[in-house]
Amino acid sequence: MTPEPKGIAQRGEDGMRHNTWVFDFDGTIADTLEIAREVYNHLAKEHNLQRLEKEEIIHLRDYNVSQFLKYLKIPKIKLPMLLSRGKKEFKKRIKDITLIEGMEEVIPKLREKVQHLGILTSNNKENVEQVLALYGLDKYFDFISTAPKLEGKARHIRAISKTYSLDKSRILYIGDEVRDVKASRKAGVAVCAVTWGFNSEKVLEKAKPSLIAHTPADLLEII
């Protein structure tokens, strides 16, 4: 069962709590975890960094961004370069990207129910557009915004609200990481944490999102 909102968003005059849904992309819409690991290992070999093995991922799902970077012993000074290179390597693997099971069916149904549908991602806009186009989903989104850094999504959420003249109390952000929950809280919008992405349900619950979805179908129940 999907829990009821915890008092962040009030119902609008049309009876819908949130008429604008903004999605994270990697891990929320697209199943990119294994490709991200492959891209990281490619860069790790070039820059003499610690490899990340497949079996380590389960353990790391309980880590936040800072803990994750510390575990991999990535110097902060190298992070911007690695992110930039990683996005370029990701682009080379676009055709290998699959969607989270169920999202291809859920997104068109959501589009019928909400007034605005958008994406805020740390990935490149072009990468996201290409993946959505591969599955015929690009037509369902009103906007794609990018937050180039791992942290700082709160500022971009506020910018989306201002740019598109959206009421923050009617926005719902959907993401798979603790940083998504924290950014939404900081920006003053409700947030739905999904348990099928990077962070585990245990750590997501501790971050106290407004809602938790265990399957893409749960998103339809939220509406």
List pLDDT tens digits, range 65-92. Answer: 889 889 999 888 888 899 899 999 999 9
The tens digit of pLDDT for each residue in 4-58 reads 333 323 333 333 579 999 999 999 999 999 999 999 999 999 988 999 999 999 8
CATH number of domain containing 164: 3.40.50.1000
Q: How confident is the model at residue 181 (pLDDT cuts 50, 70, 90)?
A: very high
Does pLDDT of 160 surpass 50? yes
Residues 128 and 191 in one domain: yes
**174 pairs with which residues across the strands?**
23, 192
Torsion of Cα atoms, 160 then 97 then 41 then 204, to 10°: 50
Segments forming the whole domain that contains residue 207: 20-31+98-222
Q: Give the global pTM.
A: 0.87
- Structure confidence at residue 16 (pLDDT): 56
Instruction: Kindly state whether residue 134 falls inside one of the protein's structural domains.
Output: yes
Q: Is residue 146 a part of any domain in this protein?
A: yes
What is the DSSP pairing of strand 171-175 with strand 20-23?
parallel
Summary mean pLDDT of the chain: 89
Kindly state whether residue 144 falls inside one of the protein's structural domains. Answer: yes
Domain tally for the chain? Answer: 2
Instruction: Examine residue 13 and state whether it is found in any structural domain, yes or no.
Output: no
Domain assignment present for 127: yes
Q: Do 92 and 194 sit in the same domain of this protein? A: no
